[in-house]
Amino acid sequence: MPRTILVIDDEIEIGEIIGTVLERKGYRVLIASSFAQGVSFWENEKQNVDLVLSDLGAIGTQEKRFSEIFRKPDLKVAYMSGSSPDEVKGRYGPDFIQKPFLLEELARFVDQRLI
């Protein structure tokens, strides 16, 4: 069974592009266009999800709740944002990718998170 990635991005077009790229890499992708929809997918699929890739804008002020909900052994969590890289890069380190990114960079980033 392919590894499953839950993508949460409040810009649905971006989420769909990310989903297409990752599906072409052989991943199964769930695309949520809001934090609430991401939680819903998680509740139904958490046993299958290997990586949660979330845009920080989609999390908004619910970061503490996000970290409480998306927990399970071996789950990887990564973040992306178009905000100032200095603001967020130090906070999330290697589990952060700056938007905009090349599609090849995204694929490599996800592969590295799942090693």
Which H or E element spans position 78?
strand 76-81
Query: DSSP secondary-structure letter at 7?
Result: E
Q: Which amino acid is at 46?
A: K
Q: pLDDT tens digits, residue range 44-76? A: 999 999 999 999 999 988 989 999 999 889 999
Query: Chain-centre distance of CA 69, in angstroms?
Result: 14
Measured in degrees and rounded to the nearest 5, phi and psi for residue 29 equal -125, 135
Predicted TM-score of the model (pTM): 0.94
The residue among 67, 72, 69, 89 whose CA lies nearest residue 80 is: 89
For residue 84, pLDDT over 80 is answered with: no
Identify the CATH homologous superfamily for domain 4-113.
Response regulator (3.40.50.2300)
Distance separating alpha carbons of residues 73 and 48, to the nearest angstrom: 12
Question: What per-residue confidence (pLDDT) applies to 103?
Answer: 94
Q: Predicted confidence band at 112 (pLDDT cuts at 50, 70, 90)?
A: very high
